[in-house]
Amino acid sequence: MRHYAAYGSNLDPARMRAYCPHSPMVGIGWVEGWRLTFAGEEDLGWEGSVSTIVESPGDRVFVALYDVHPWDAAQLDEVEGVTAGTYQKLTVRVSTLEGDVTAWVYVFDGYEGGLPTAWYLSEIANAAEKAGAPDDYVAELRARPTRTAAP
C-alpha cells in the first residue's frame, strides 16, 4: 500500500513535498468513525500535545491522500516518529468522491489527552485550508482550546 492519509500539519502539500519529493498529493477525503485529538503532552515533555486520531463512531477526520513512493516512505516514517516508537502506522479506509481507498495513518502510541499550543493548532488549520478542507472544518479547528506555552 502506498497511500498515506495526512490529517495534521502534513495536510500542507508544500510541507509534504519537502519531506517526500517523489510522493504527490492525489486527493482528499474523510476517515469516517475517527476524530482528531491530541496526545503526548506528558509523555514527550513538549510545550503541548501532538495530533493523533482515535476511533469515534459518528465523527470524521479530513485527510489529504499522498501516493508515497518507496524512496520517501522510510523518510516519512522517521519524520513522523515511527522509528522512535512515538507513532505507529495503522491502515484505515478513506472515503473520497471517487470511492473508498485504503491508506495508512500515523497514530500516537499512547493515551489521548492534553492540549496543543496555539501555534501548533494554527499550523494544522492552515495546512487543512491549503489542502482544500471545507471552511466549517477549518473553523472548528481554529476554535479548539489551546495550551499556553510555558515561559
Annotate 50-118 with DSSP letters as a single string. Answer: EEEEEEEEEEEEEEEEEE--HHHHHHHHHHTTTTTTSEEEEEEEEEETTEEEEEEEEEESS-B----BH
Q: Is 129 a catalytic residue?
A: no
Cβ neighbours of 71 (radius 10 Å): 11
Q: Report the binding-site residues for substrate.
A: 4-9, 120
- Chain mean pLDDT for the chain: 91
**pLDDT (average), residues 52-78:** 95
Tell me the three state secondary structure of residue 137.
helix
Share of the chain above pLDDT 70, in %: 93
Record the cell numbers describing residue 67, joined without a space. 501516493
- Give the per-residue pLDDT at 69: 94
User: What are the residues facing 127 on neighbouring strands?
Assistant: none
Q: What is the pTM of this model?
A: 0.91
Query: Confidence band (pLDDT; 50, 70, 90) for 111?
Result: confident
Q: What is the mean pLDDT of residues 35-55?
A: 82
Mean pLDDT of all residues in 88-94: 96
Domain 3-133 has CATH 2.30.40.10: no
Domain boundaries, the chain: 3-133
pLDDT grade, residue 151 (50/70/90)? Answer: very low
| Per-residue pLDDT, 86 | 85
Which residue among the candidates 32, 47, 80, 112 is catalytic per the annotation? 80
